[in-house]
Structure 1
Amino acid sequence: MIDHDDAGTVRPSTLAWASRYLNDGERIVATEALHGGITAEMRRLTIGASDGGTRDLVLRSFVDPAFVAHAEDMLNREAGTLALLTGTGVPAPGPVAVDATAAHCEHPSLLMTHLAGRTVLDDQGLEARVPLLARQLVAIHALRPAERPREYRAWTTADAVVPPDGADATAWAAATDVIRRPPPPYEGRFLHRDFQPGNVLFHVPPPGPAGPRVTGVVDWVETSWGPADLDVAHCSSNLAMLHGPAWGLRFAEAYEEAGGTLAAAADERLYWRLLDALGFSTSVRWVARPWQEAGRTELTTRAVEQRLDAHVTALMDALG
């Protein structure tokens, strides 16, 4: 987990590196921490031009030793994905520069364009946002790049699952047995792999006839090739923990309503949904922290664990 105590500060070596990629007459005039990241520090760099105008860039830096060890692969993969997404219609940042080995920066870093909009994690307005999330994910899955990204990687195993205190032991034991099975066959799709409300930006207008719209999708470090069900499962798990288990079930419906295709058999759908949900069993406190920082202080680790338990139980009841 990253430490936000040094909010906004960017090391001189990193600022000097980023300055190399500015236009003539531009300079970095301000930096600001962007909260919400789990694996990396995010900073907004305000760029001033000689005519008085400004624009923003975003700097991702891996500072936690646990993630620095993997930073080269992750940052190069994200930079490549952002380049691939340019011109596809998927609203993603554009890559500006990458120093994946910290040859010039204090820490391994990626510099990218800044997108308008903000993450929205409140319960209010969720009914309107869920279909937008689903439509955006269908558009991502429709991409057919000339070169496929790496195959997906499971983020847990049956032996690594640790049910939360007070969880329904019977349901969790049955759920764990589900993911002991070999993965079902699937038709591969281009996956974001961490598609969830914290990685989607919205424009939310004042009350009126115009509704919210998606303005960006960020954090492409885990881009993979795999089953659409897995991306749907990940967003469903996050929605269940953030807003309640009913929304975990609702998202899969919204995805199909938007034209997406999921596994035909209920047992196959259950496998992918549980493979993702059970992966949170040992990481709830890391997941909850950005939500708390965003103002959802009621989402304590215990509260989110209870929602995760309810989500797993709901999946077993609905699909098991």
Structure 2
Amino acid sequence: MTNSDEVATVRPLTLAWVRRHLEAGERIVGAEVLHGGATADMRRLTVGTRDGGTRYLVLRSFVDPTRQGPAEDLLHREADALTTLTGSGADVAAPGLVAFDPVAAHCEYPSLLMSHLPGRVVLDDEGLETRVPLLARQLLAIHAVRPAVRPREYVALSTADTAVVPESADAAAWAAAIDVIRRPAPRYEGRFLHRDFQPGNVLFDPPPEDPAGAAAVARITGVVDWAAASWGPADLDVAHCATNLALLHGPEWGLRFTAAYQEAGGVLAAAADERLYWQVRVPLAFSEEVQWVARPWQEAGRTELTTQAVEQRLDAYLISLMEAAG
């Protein structure tokens, strides 16, 4: 499909809205569907500048209802988070907000237009040993952000009664974990949360191959998808990323990420039972939507991560958390 054909796939009202937010003399010359997103349609737009160059924008449109809540709320949260991060002085690279239409007043669907960040998502096992500390330090930098206006409190999307125990799972371990989250949530010191911080939302600039054989180091070039940004315990963000790593790469990597966050200076709940509450809450939430969680990874090339394979890793990770807690 040519660039002009791709541009034609952007709905007419949305295309006209985007054009109104370009600089004088600019035009849209291409569009590319971005895969890997689970809650919205994403497109990278190529903009021809008046000096003959190009730049990129990213268009996010909520076409279908989401489990995370109304599109209007998600877009307001993302816009607020991007505004907070711009000029905050934090060591967090996030897209710049260009415009947003949370109620589809001008577009066919609720949409947000933002700047494009360099880099790419890396989901491979290779180089994971190096990336995990980088992820931990990046999350710590996010938690250090002090917004002028506090975002809304985090929302727990699951309960003890909605957890789905996978077939062939360790029933005793799952029952014990479910009992953990039947208790009231522990008190916590609030932090600015990304709320979906995980490898699929982090862009890396992989190191170039060095002909001399010197060890080059990857670096993080940006963090995307701030639609769930909220206020809550650091433990929740850590548990979310740890669970994603456990499912992508194996249960031990979830535990290693939690340790890496603490080694970087991150502070989690002081009491072991309070840490366990947040650690198991996320895997139990994932149990309700394993197929949905695995789909973006499969689309990105990790075809071995079938629903069954992810369920097995989820079971193994939950068991490891319960065993570590004694």
Question: TM-score normalised by the shorter chain: which range applies?
Answer: over 0.9
Q: Is the partner of 1:138 in helix, strand or coil?
A: helix
Contact 1:68 1:108 in 2 (8 A): no
CA contact (8 A) 1:155 1:276 kept: no
What residue in structure 2 maps to residue 169 of structure 1?
A: 171
> CA offset at residue 206 of structure 1?
2.1
Q: Structure 1: 5+ residue runs without aligned partners?
A: 1-5
Q: Which residue of 1 aligns with 2:117?
A: 115
Please state if 1:137 is matched with 2:102. Answer: no
Task: Give the equivalent residue in structure 1 for 2:33.
Answer: 33
Equivalent residue for 1:3?
A: none
Distance 1:283 1:316 in 2: 21
Tell me the distance in 2 between the aligned counterparts of 1:190 and 1:67. 22
Report whether the alignment pairs 1:45 with 2:45: yes
Q: 1:67 to 1:99 in 2, by over 3 A?
A: farther
Q: Please show how residues 51-200 of structure 1 align to structure 2 within 5 Å.
A: 51-66=51-66, 70-88=70-88, 89-200=91-202
Aligned-partner SS, 1:160: coil
Deviation at 1:67, TM superposition (A): 6.2
Q: Aligned with 1:159: secondary structure? A: coil
Deviation at 1:203, TM superposition (A): 0.3
Mark the CA change 1:68 to 1:285 in structure 2 (over 3 Å): closer, same or farther.
Answer: closer
Aligned length: 315
1:296 matched to 2:302? The reply is: yes
Is this contact kept in 2: 1:248–1:311, CA < 8 A? yes
Q: Deviation of residue 69 (structure 1)?
A: 6.8
Match of 2:267 in 1: 261
Ranges of 4+ aligned residues in structure 1 off by more than 3 Å = 65-69
**Residues 193 and 230, structure 2, Cα contact 8 Å, conserved in 1:** yes
Distance 1:152 1:67, change over 3 A: closer
1:276 corresponds, among 282, 289, 297, to 282
Q: Aligned partners of 1:69, 1:124: CA distance in 2, in Å?
A: 35
Structure 1 residue 65, shift from structure 2 partner: 3.3
- The residue aligned with 1:317 is 323
Opposite residue 241 of structure 1, the aligned amino acid is L
Distance 1:317 1:125 in 2: 28
Structure 2: which 5+ residue stretches go unaligned? none
Which TM-score applies when normalising by structure 2? 0.94
Post-superposition CA distance 1:7-40 (Å, at most 9, x none): 8721111111000010111000001000011110
TM-fit CA distance, 1:66? 4.3
- Residue identity opposite 2:244 in structure 1: N
SS at match of 1:31: strand
Give me the whole-angstrom Cα distance separating, in 2, the residues matched to 1:67 and 1:28. Answer: 32
| Aligned-CA RMSD value | 1.5
Please say if residues 71 and 110 of structure 2, whose CA atoms lie closer than 8 Å, have aligned partners that are also in contact. Answer: yes
Contact 1:164-1:309 at 8 Å conserved across structures: yes
CA distance in 1, matches of 2:20, 2:237: 37
TM-score (norm 1): 0.96
Return the offset for 1:210.
2.2
SS in 1 for 2:285: helix
**1:92 positional shift:** 0.3
2:84/2:148 contact within 8 Å kept:
no
Matched residue, 2:243: 237
Any conservation in 2 of the 1:62–1:68 contact (CA below 8 Å)? no
2:6, 2:30 within 8 Å by CA — same for their partners in 1?
no
- Provide the C-alpha distance between the structure 1 equivalents of 2:56 and 2:50, rounded to a whole number of angstroms: 15
- Asked if structure 1 preserves the Cα contact closer than 8 Å seen for 2:121 and 2:202, the reply is yes
CA distance in 2, matches of 1:275, 1:67: 17
Matched with 1:15 is 15
SS, match of residue 47 in structure 1 = strand
Q: Does 1:201 align with 2:207?
A: no
Cα distance per residue 1:135-169 (max 9 Å; x no partner): 00000101111211111111210000111111110
Instruction: Give 1:219's match in structure 2, choosing from 192, 202, 225.
Output: 225
Q: Is residue 235–residue 275 contact of structure 2 (8 Å, CA) maintained in 1?
A: yes
1:184-220 CA-to-partner distances (Å, cap 9, x unmatched) read 1111111111000000000002234321000000011
Q: For the Cα contact (< 8 Å) 2:65–2:71, is it kept in 1?
A: no
